[in-house]
Chains A and B, each alone.
Chain A
């Protein structure tokens, strides 16, 4: 399902990967539906719940068309632990509506991401799939503070792609590396002209299982290159910050 909140090139990557594996994949474009449902929603928890609800609505519709009875989810331990603890509603747990016309199957429920990767490796799943960085269920919406709209998603998507590219170029292997649109404007000076533009935060963390994480000691040159590229290639941004907080106390994603 393309929620409109996926990373750059991601819908194409996913579709190709599954079809190459010979699986009968149905790809649904639900971008407009998600953006419509998210209009005016600013609260992080409400955002997650809206996304969870639309997810299920679309799945239910598609399931009806093909007579599917089950919804198999990749829920892992941190999803239900953090949802139950009220830390955040992961879309596949706390974000799900109470009434659901599909039976849920969650074979990975008691595993953490590192264990899932071991399992995937054992099963012969390609590394390009199991080695991918974790990505939140609500997608880029969790990386936009405030309202989610196509314009803001475009900004954060470009910034995310730059962070990922530069991290790969530097041959670093963090747990996650991404950019967040903070939704605050700050003053800059660009080409002798005053700028008053968006601020982007970069978050790069190391972790074993996502339950704790430390901000990565990324070489300063790499951070500088990321900042340079973001402000040069995304005209709406004039400032880039690096998040140095660990989890706990902060979570990895901002929302």
Chain B
């Protein structure tokens, strides 16, 4: 069972739906839930959802403070990604311009989380803030532009795009489904999208 920590994002429930579709059990947990209670549930992994503000992440910070004690994979999506970056010493702030709409993400380095996923992904982005500098010891796995930051360290992964918010075609293929699931469990992830011009292809997902 995966815990999805609700940071009041528009796509939190869709993370839940996407996991349901690939056969991964998950539960949406309010971010005001006491951390001890979350710990007692013995989840296999935790996802920090997106949301409107770093001021409204509730007990996510406490989970980060105790993440070694949890000892389970942690995935941050959108605001969750920024939260992880900030906690580990990265810099988060308002981007030069906001990014809304369909964008492309390029996977730079193979990782368990990307098994069966095309190297170039079309994803929805919806954010004004971004990770401006990566924390030490984090590694760039995917990016949107040459100047991107992205995150990966130990069991902590994160990504800026409103991950799982679109349902790409490739997920409907059975073979890929399995590998997506596998990669989710290992939850090695992270990527970011930045600054580059939007490159639209005509074949919208």
Chain A residues with a Cβ under 8 A of chain B: 77, 81-82, 84-85, 87, 110, 112, 115, 206, 208-209, 211-212, 214, 217, 246, 248-249
Contacts and interface: CB of A to CB of B under 8 A. Distances in A.
B14 interface: yes
Given A208-B167, A212-B166, A214-B204, A246 B102 contact: yes
Contacts of B167: 208-209
Nearest to B14: A211
A87 B101 CA distance: 17
Nearest to B98: A249
B153 interface: no
A248 B101 CA distance: 5
26 contacts: A77-B14, A77-B17, A81-B10, A81-B12, A82-B10, A85-B52, A112-B14, A112-B17, A115-B17, A206-B204, A209-B14, A211-B10, A211-B11, A211-B14, A211-B165, A212-B165, A212-B166, A217-B204, A246-B100, A246-B101, A246-B102, A248-B100, A248-B101, A248-B126, A249-B100, A249-B126
* Chain A interface mostly: loop
B177 to A, nearest CB: 16
Closest 7 CB pairs of A and B: A249-B100, A248-B126, A246-B101, A248-B100, A214-B204, A212-B124, A208-B167
A208 B102 CA distance: 14
Contact of A217 (B8, B12, B202): B202
Given A217-B202, A248-B126, A81 B101 contact: no
Contacts of B101: 246, 248-249
B13 interface: yes
A209 B126 CA distance: 17
Given A212-B124, A214-B204, A81 B13 contact: yes
B35 to A, nearest CB: 23
B19 to A, nearest CB: 13
A117 to B, nearest CB: 14
Given A246-B101, A248-B124, A85 B204 contact: no
B167 to A, nearest CB: 5
Nearest to A246: B101
B102 A214 contact: yes
Contacts of B12: 81
Nearest to A84: B8
Interface in B7-57: 8, 10-14, 17, 52
Contact of B166 (A82, A87, A208): A208
A228 B12 CA distance: 42
B101 to A, nearest CB: 5
Given A85-B8, A249-B126, 14 more contacts: A81-B13, A84-B8, A112-B14, A112-B17, A115-B17, A208-B166, A208-B167, A209-B14, A211-B11, A214-B102, A217-B204, A246-B101, A246-B102, A249-B98
B161 to A, nearest CB: 12
A248 B128 CA distance: 12
A115 B17 CA distance: 10
A248 B102 CA distance: 9
